[in-house]
Amino acid sequence: MTDRRDWEGRTGRKWAEEWRRTDRSFAEITHRLLDGARRGPVTRVLDVGCGAGELSLALAREHGDAQVVGIDVSEQLVAVARERGARLRNASFECADAAEWSVPQQAPDLIVSRHGVMFFPDPMAAFAHLRAQMVTGGRLLFSCFRDRRENPWASRIADLIPPGRIAAPDPGAPGPFAFADRAYVEAILAGANWRDVAFDRIDYAYVAGAGGDPVSDALTYFLAIGPAAAAAAELDPDERAVFVGRLEAFLAGYRDGSIVALPAAAWIVSARTD
């Protein structure tokens, strides 16, 4: 489970430190979301769970006449996003909870999110609130991971940790895979009165390492963030050494020249108001 407190604390801090590598790993998702945004009006945009700002900034650069607001509960991530976007006049960032955000004079016609909507404690209420903030005919566009088993960067790395050190995942709890079940997400959006809900399956390369020693790059990345990082930090020295050796061997199997790329699977979900 990953909730708001995690993003306000250690998780947010680590992602703020690792924004370059997380942006690299999600590059294909960013590309797909930008493509989806082009299919309708882009005048006032709200980026939910904007993280370090990559999607917000890309939208602001591409749509120079649009106003883009990125919000995130992590002050550390918002600080990074503001620094990165300091020269863009049409992008701004706020530390706020999307389930409560409301600025009537900035009612968006597009709400986007790159893997930022799976952490609401009450997702139906959050999506109903977001819908109420939008202009008539506004669009929703977000990405979320599919089943954990289709994402070996999460499932197989977690399996390398000694048994009992990682809690069994709760499919209904906030976290990276909370929206893996299409029927569950459809029910949430329908209950929040979103219309024309559509799902696109995206299979892409999760680039975890690059450069002269991509395996080492990927190794340090997964020891910093991801499903096994926190558990690995709690291992005793001998156990940690065994885990690191296993992880390095696992990642070496996905090396392709100067990169380490693992299979990843996501949904791109779209919907609209009446």
Summarize pLDDT for 112-132 with one digit per residue, the tens.
999 999 999 999 999 999 999
Average pLDDT, the chain: 93
For the chain, the domains span 4-151+167-209+265-272
Residues pairing with 71 in the sheet: 48, 94
Using a 10 angstrom Cβ sphere, with 0-12 exposed, 13-18 middle and 19 or more buried, the burial of residue 255 is middle
Question: Which pLDDT does position 163 carry in this prediction?
Answer: 81
Question: Which pLDDT does position 4 carry in this prediction?
Answer: 64
Question: Which pLDDT does position 168 carry in this prediction?
Answer: 67
Looking at the predicted structure, is the pLDDT value of residue 62 above 70? yes
CA 217 to chain centre: 20
Looking at the predicted structure, is the pLDDT value of residue 78 above 90? yes
CATH for 4-151+167-209+265-272? 3.40.50.150
The length of the chain in residues reads 274
Residues pairing with 112 in the sheet: 47, 141
| Helices and strands (H and E) in the chain: how many | 12, 8
Percent of all residues in the chain with a pLDDT value above 70, rounded to a whole number: 96
User: Would you place residue 106 in the very low, low, confident or very high pLDDT band (cuts 50, 70, 90)?
Assistant: confident
